[in-house]
Amino acid sequence: MRAALTPEAAAAWLTRYGAAWTSGDVAAIGDLFTAEATYRETPFAPALSGRGAIEGYWAEGARDAQTDVRFDFTVWAVDGDVCLTHWTAAFTRVPWGQRVRLDGVFRLVFDSTDPDAPRCRHLQEWWHRDERRDGAIPPTPSGAG
């Protein structure tokens, strides 16, 4: 019998996800997912399939294109192997120097065979972007999660 995902294990996974994103560590991102994981960035785009595709996406879209990254999250709910999370991020686009703020929601489905180090099997995200030409992004409200 598989152990159910705990809110603490989900939060630990999200902390590692944020650390990998802010540091641009593509291998650390890959380690968070099962080998066959799917990653759907938007509801209308086809899902990325497999750890290699996810790492490629992160290498091109984040590590090589973003700097000064900040990430925060609030776990909304955990039910069985599913976690719903609100997240925010901000970064500067390379090479334009434009500041971007994201506000989104994850639906994460975990392979929780190892309750201390779960890996994500399916990631779906819905997010909105605030990207202003003048670079002035208002601060994220306190307690936004």
Residue 136 in domain: no
Instruction: Write the CATH number for 11.
Output: 3.10.450.50
Tell me the pTM.
Answer: 0.86
∠ at Cα 85 (83, 88), nearest 5°? Answer: 155
Domain, as residue range, for 23: 7-131
Q: Identify the three-state secondary structure at position 70.
A: strand
pLDDT at 133: 62
Q: Which residue has the higher pLDDT, 67 or 121?
A: 121
Per-residue pLDDT of 38-75, as tens digits, reads 999 998 989 999 999 999 999 887 778 888 999 999 99
Domain count, the chain: 1
